[in-house]
Structure 1
């Protein structure tokens, strides 16, 4: 078999290593074993001195034999076992606020695919009820905010989030997950970023044009800043709470920050992300923080300014170019197009190998550039994990 990723990597300022692929995962009944070897460029990593999960070692720049792998929206959506739970428990909030269901759903992909990261089954809007912002998540419609705050008086009614009081089930679920997974994989928590949470809250739900929050930002910025500050303080506390209860890394989703211009990102998102990271690092300096913002190509150089340990790229950014633009001090995550999982096994393999080659050795978490799409064949997800776990630097 010829090398699937034969193009030379554009990052050329680091020593050259080779990537090999365990061909057992590519065999068909009539095929002979084969291998893939591709060159990549990276800085020399440190040597592992602990038995911590592969994902944590990779983020910290410790020598690893392959890139760790997990998938966004890994728990649920595409798995038949999850769909069966949905039939029995149709309310998303019931599924995500019941300890036993959260643990069961979070472990479904772990039991089948053994990813290197096991992420908590939850939602970024979960804290809203504890902040006196009533909401629901309705099948076919998405999130609905019942009384969107639009004035300073409304924002004054928003409480700062106290996770141990409002979402004790999150802490309980993370503790159980940590015991179940042990150190065979990293347990991942996540939170929503202030601007993205504010977008949902001000818009009253999902939005296409973000007219309401931009009107507020540009006509009454004090109101928005007041709300963003409450979210920043609350999400910093939520990250710490998750870490204290078993999360070994936490991903921050700022999905809608990329609806902002660079100048507006620097006013309405960046300062609050910095605040969260700074607060968390004071008490949990070794906790890896991952930042994901879909469509982030126009803001890429600004994302490391937040102080996060990992920047997760969506698939619209070339991985080699993303590495070059971010700099090699920050780890990267991603960034295979979720649509690739609808392709043939050979096609999926090629895209994985191309991404890994461009990311280079070390400080890379293999992932999709967004969440798994509903209807993705489970057998293709299985192949994705088989290929990923068969890679050797």
Structure 2
């Protein structure tokens, strides 16, 4: 299968020459778009939207109809994985995700099993296939999963948490139980991502959203080691094309060299990191993705453009070459003015071309 007509995103991840810096945004199909809110209303609730391949395809394509983005990302949620593992996902308006059966007792943890993604997450694979057909070779499609540690946070806490008390208590008191959760979840994530690749995903990303809450040594043991196993277990090529992988640990710039060494193609960085500094540390072993503060998009259009140029300058200050995918340092806010996203996309494409002309 040929690469998409616009393959700039894939080439940047593989550190191949590109004419400009490609851009996509975490949570780019979301509540900041009026058309998304209309589709979600028709779905009845968020989980229905995730579990309808047709509607998931519809909202995946909505930001691409508005903006000149360089990649689409599957519309889904990281918590569909523990839901498939039997924990009973549900959402409460204003409170976020909850689980009916969080992992609290040892017997519950010992009984945890790896589900077959084609049985329990078939709706995701159907959505991936439908989105690929709808994209018709225009831009690449990104598949994704949460990291084992991030998924475990929700599975053990029972939902979102302010202090992660339950999972950290388990980490210190019963590390054997936490490792068991992570072992089972790691194999589940490998199977899940490979099923997405088989269904048509052309790149995959692992969201280690909560890895950054771990103590320094614990990060390597309870998050990074399992991320490395995932990367090693991924399908690396499909239809003669490399399938690049991105690992994003929020707050993870401290461990950039370690993440670069696990075999992924790119590291996602939040806004607290300097792209130039990380580039110097990882020596162009991986591409970098990021890292505009999402709150920038609430500023004036002039400020949005200025800050976007600063991110691009920061990457280029690290030296020639390399691979850079422009992104936000985390997901876009639901309150973001949609018109400011237009400013961002246009600025990144135009200014990155200027930088390349100036350096050629």
Give yes or no for contact 1:320–1:359 (8 Å, CA) kept in 2: yes
Q: How does 1:1-393 map to 2 (within 5 A)?
A: 53-281=7-235, 286-360=242-316, 361-390=321-350, 391-392=352-353, 393=356
Report the Cα distance in structure 2 between the residues aligned to 1:219 and 1:352, rounded to whole angstroms. 45
Q: Is 2:73–2:141's contact at 8 Å kept on the other side of the alignment?
A: yes
Unaligned 5+ runs, structure 2: none
Q: Pairwise CA RMSD of aligned residues? A: 1.8
Q: CA deviation at 1:50?
A: 9.2
Q: Deviations over 1:216-256 (max 9, x none)?
A: 11111111111100000010011101111111011100111
The structure whose Rg is larger is: 1
Instruction: Please list the CA deviations of residues 72-109 of structure 1 after superposition, one character each: whole Å capped at 9, or x if unmatched.
Output: 11001200111122333341100111011100110100
More displaced 10-residue stretch of structure 1: 367-376 or 278-287: 278-287
- Name the CA distance, whole Å, in 1 between partners of 2:256 and 2:162: 22
**Further displaced range: 76-85 or 227-236:** 76-85
The residue that corresponds to 1:4 in the other structure is none
Which moved further from structure 2: 174-183 or 276-285?
276-285
How far, CA to CA, are the matches of 2:342 and 2:93 in structure 1?
27
CA shift in 2, pair 1:221/1:151, >3 Å: farther
By how many angstroms is 1:362 displaced?
Answer: 4.2
1:297 deviates by 3.0
Secondary structure, counterpart of 1:355 in structure 2: helix
1:220–1:376 distance in 2 versus 1, CA, 3 Å: same
In terms of mean alpha carbon deviation, does 180-189 or 264-273 score higher? Answer: 180-189
CA displacement, residues 143-162 of structure 1 (integer Å, 9 cap, x when unaligned): 11122113331123222021
C-alpha contact (below 8 Å) 1:133/1:158 kept by paired residues: no
State how far apart, in whole Å, the 1-side matches of 2:262 and 2:250 are.
16
Does the C-alpha gap of structure 1 residues 79 and 279 become closer, same or farther in structure 2, counting only changes over 3 Å?
A: same
**C-alpha deviation, 1:52, in angstroms:** 6.2
CA distance in 2, matches of 1:225, 1:290: 23
Alpha-carbon distance in structure 2 between the residues aligned to 1:139 and 1:190 = 24
TM-score, scaled relative to structure 1: 0.84
Secondary structure of 1:78 counterpart = coil
Alpha carbons of structure 1 residues 50 and 93: separation in structure 2 relative to 1, 3 Å: closer
Output the CA distance in 2 between the equivalents of 1:143 and 1:324: 39
CA change 1:100–1:355 in 2 (3 A) is same
Length, aligned pairs only: 345
Distance 2:237 2:338 in 1: 40
8 Å CA contact retained: 2:284, 2:322: no
